[in-house]
Amino acid sequence: MLLFVGLGNPTSDSENNRHNIGFKVIDSINKKFGLSKQKPKFKGLLTTGNIEDEKIYAIKPLTFMNNSGICIRELLEYFKIDVEDVIVFHDDLDVDFGKIKAKFGGSDAGHNGIASIDKFIGKDYSRVRVGIGKPKTKMEVSDYVLQNFDAEETASIEKILENITDSISILIKKKLDLFSSTVNNKK
């Protein structure tokens, strides 16, 4: 049993923000693998199903990025999911646009959504860091992550999501380094 978490903000004007790439990953997984219809539960939008004979729960927290941990803790407690079986998809400024870095544990590196999760469930879970790159002009990080992807980036997003979902069986086995290299080497 695994819990996939996609981080983002739940407002309609946030839908295409860089900060919402985690939501996009969950939507892509739901679509490709035919998980259940999203239902509002545990302060998030929850879907369930099976992928590779593994029971999967997938959630998009509706608590806003900075309070993501609240939603996740409730869900873990209810379904008795181990923290080690949580995989969080989120944006990362320190990773080049479109690149993926998966790892287990670590620091929040200034990401408020990850900091919230760490506060509520600890740090012993997997993270799939989806690169959004750094701003090309001088601007506040908070402004940059809340901007929509530009036209060139938007054209690449679907391929990035496809590469992630095509490699999901590797991620389910928690082979994080192999998952990262497989996704990053797809054309």
Catalytic residue among 19, 24, 43, 60: 19
pLDDT of residue 186: 84
* Number of domains making up the chain: 1
Give the CATH number of the domain where residue 126 resides.
3.40.50.1470
Please check the confidence at residue 91 and state whether its pLDDT lies above 90: yes
Measured distance CA(160)–CA(4) in Å, rounded:
17
Could you give the C-alpha distances from 161 to 51, 73, 78, 90, 182, in angstroms and in order?
17, 26, 29, 12, 13
Is 19 tagged catalytic?
yes
Can you read off the two tokens belonging to residue 90? 């989120």
Please check the confidence at residue 142 and state whether its pLDDT lies above 90: no
Q: Which range of residues forms the domain containing residue 32?
A: 2-184
pTM over 0.85: yes
Q: Are 25 and 98 in contact (CB under 8 A)?
A: no
User: Which residue type occupies 100?
Assistant: I
Note the maximum CA span of the chain: 47
Average pLDDT over residues 124-140: 92
Measured distance CA(165)–CA(180) in Å, rounded:
12
Indicate if the alpha-carbon torsion angle 99, 101, 107, 113 is positive or negative: positive
Can you read off the two tokens belonging to residue 149? 């992807």
Tell how many helices (H) and how many strands (E) occur in the chain: 7, 7
pLDDT digit string (tens) for 175-187?
A: 999 999 999 998 7
pLDDT of residue 155: 87
